[in-house]
Amino acid sequence: MRLHSIQLSGIVASICASALMVGCATTPPENTELDQAQAAYTSASNDPKVAQAAPKQLQKASAALDHSMALEKAGEPQADVDHYAYLTIQQVAIAQQLADADAAQAYIKQADTQRDHMLLHASQQQTQTAQLRTQDANARAQQSQMQAQDANAQAQQSQMQADSANADAQDARMQTAAATAQAAQSQQQNADLQQQLAALNAKQTNRGMVLTLSSVLFATNKTDMSSGGARSLDKLTQFMHDNPKRNVMVEGYTDSSGGSEYNQDLSQRRADAVQSALITDGINPQRIATKGFGEGYPVASNDTRSGRQQNRRVEIVISDANGDFPQAR
Amino acid sequence: MKIKSVLFGASVPAAMLLTAIALNGCTSVAPRPDDALVRAKTAVDQATTAGSSQYAPVDLNTAGAKLQSANEEEAKGNYKQAKYLAEESQVDAELALAKTQDAKAQEAANQVRKGNQALQNQVDQTNNPPLM
Out of A8, A94, A118, whose CB is closest to B123?
A118
pLDDT at A56 over 70: yes
Region A125-153: mean pLDDT is 86
CATH number of the domain where residue A268 is located: 3.30.1330.60
**pLDDT confidence bin for A137, thresholds 50/70/90:** confident
Percentage with pLDDT > 90 across chain A: 43
Domains of chain B, first to last = 1-30 (no CATH), 31-122 (1.20.1270.390)
Whether A118 is covered by a domain: the verdict is: no
Whether A133 is covered by a domain: the verdict is: no
Domain stops at, among A47, A77, A109: A109
Residue A54 burial class via C-beta count within 10 angstroms: exposed 0-12, middle 13-18, buried 19 and up: buried
Whether A249 is covered by a domain: the verdict is: yes
Domain stops at, among A109, A129, A150: A109
Summarize pLDDT for A23-44 with one digit per residue, the tens: 555 655 567 999 999 999 999 9
Summarize pLDDT for A243-270 with one digit per residue, the tens: 999 999 999 999 998 899 999 999 999 8
Residues near B69 by Cβ (< 8 Å), separated by ≥ 6?
Answer: B85
Contact assignment for B123 to A125 by CB distance below 8 Å: yes
**Would residue A199 be called left, alpha or beta, if left means φ above 0 and alpha means ψ between -120 and 50 degrees?**
alpha
Whether A114 is covered by a domain: the verdict is: no
Q: So what's the ipTM on this one?
A: 0.77
Looking at the structure of chain A, the number of domains it has is 2
Are A247 and A322 in contact, with CB atoms under 8 Å apart? no
pLDDT at A115: 85
Q: Which residue has the higher pLDDT, A217 or A20?
A: A217
Are A45 and A55 in contact, with CB atoms under 8 Å apart? no
**pLDDT confidence bin for A223, thresholds 50/70/90:** low
CA distance A82 to B51: 30
CA distance A214 to B82: 166
Contact assignment for A97 to B101 by CB distance below 8 Å: yes
pLDDT at A3 over 50: no
Region A39-66: mean pLDDT is 97
**pLDDT confidence bin for A177, thresholds 50/70/90:** confident
Residues 106-145 of A with CB under 8 A from B: 107-108, 111-112, 114-115, 118-119, 121-122, 125-126, 129
Pairing of strands A208-214, A313-318: antiparallel
A82, A97, A125, A128: best mutation site toward chain B, by most B Cβ within 10 Å? A97
Contact assignment for B25 to A20 by CB distance below 8 Å: yes
Domain holding A60, by residue range, is 5-109
Region A67-96: mean pLDDT is 97
Region A46-62: mean pLDDT is 96
Task: List chain B residues with pLDDT less than 50.
Answer: 3, 5, 7-9, 17-27
pLDDT at A297: 94
pTM recorded for the entire structure: 0.47
Buried b (16+ CB within 10 A) or exposed e, A61-79: bbebbebbbebbeeebbbb
Whether A304 is covered by a domain: the verdict is: yes
Domain stops at, among A109, A124, A156: A109
Whether A328 is covered by a domain: the verdict is: no
Q: Which residue has the higher pLDDT, A217 or A84?
A: A84
pLDDT at A27: 59
Average pLDDT, chain A: 85
Region A313-323: mean pLDDT is 92
Summarize pLDDT for A264-287 with one digit per residue, the tens: 999 999 899 899 889 988 999 999
Region A172-198: mean pLDDT is 75
pLDDT at A25: 57
Contact with chain B for residue A91, Cβ under 8 A: yes
